[in-house]
């Protein structure tokens, strides 16, 4: 079963990366991805559902561990959209090399690794052993847009064709 079929079986749908990048309320300047040989570096993504921020807030204060886990799981979806945009096919992913997860954490909250398991578990569900990354889970005070989680992924891919990245360069003052 290919990765997109697995996503559909889980009831998950990839958003259009072009739609995600068509607006940029933050005014941040960055690109969606950058390929170096067969490594694809991806910009950080936060949880979104139905085109809107999903489960914003502080884990351990506004959100439970279970909600943080779900937020991390949803944060993978825009990352997968960027991979699909860049490579044209999620099945070109040979290995999820690294997953870096930031958790907007309340003072004293120490379960960041369990929150980021939401992202790692979904990657393993979709890619099998190829989805098991090296990783880090970091607690922080505050993320852009009051996101509860942000993830950054690096993948090893097959083939050589990679679409040029999309840029978020909208100026907001």
Query: Is residue 173 a part of any domain in this protein?
Result: no
pTM of the entire predicted model:
0.95
Query: Is residue 8 a part of any domain in this protein?
Result: yes
Query: Is residue 14 a part of any domain in this protein?
Result: yes
What is the per-residue pLDDT for 129? Answer: 97
Three-class secondary structure of residue 23 per DSSP = coil
Query: Is residue 35 a part of any domain in this protein?
Result: yes
Query: Is residue 46 a part of any domain in this protein?
Result: yes
β-pairing, 93-104 with 134-140?
parallel
Question: Into how many domains does the chain fold?
Answer: 1
> In which domain, by residue range, is 110 found?
3-168
**What does the alpha-carbon distance between residue 27 and residue 8 come to, in Å, rounded to a whole number?**
32
Query: Is residue 55 a part of any domain in this protein?
Result: yes
Report H helices in the chain. Answer: 3-9, 17-21, 65-87, 112-127
Query: Is residue 108 a part of any domain in this protein?
Result: yes
Q: What is the pLDDT of residues 146-164, one digit of tens each?
A: 999 999 999 999 999 999 9
Query: Is residue 125 a part of any domain in this protein?
Result: yes
CATH for 140? 3.30.1330.40
């Amino acid at each position: 079963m290919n990765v997109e079929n697995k996503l559909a079986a889980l009831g998950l749908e990839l958003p259009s990366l072009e739609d995600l990048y068509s607006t940029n309320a933050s005014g941040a300047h960055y690109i969606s991805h950058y390929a170096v040989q067969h490594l694809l570096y991806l910009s950080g993504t936060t949880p979104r559902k139905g085109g809107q921020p999903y489960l914003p807030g502080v884990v351990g204060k506004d959100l439970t561990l279970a909600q943080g886990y779900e937020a991390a799981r949803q944060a993978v979806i825009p990352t997968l959209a960027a991979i699909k945009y860049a490579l044209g096919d999620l099945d070109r992913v040979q290995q999820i090399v690294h997953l870096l997860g930031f958790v907007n954490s309340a003072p004293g909250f120490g379960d960041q690794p369990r929150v980021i398991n939401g992202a790692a578990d979904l990657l393993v569900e979709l890619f099998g052993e190829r989805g098991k990354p090296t990783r880090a889970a970091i607690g922080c005070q505050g993320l852009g847009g009051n996101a509860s989680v942000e993830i950054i992924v690096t993948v090893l891919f097959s083939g050589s064709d990679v679409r040029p990245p999309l840029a978020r360069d909208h100026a907001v003052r």
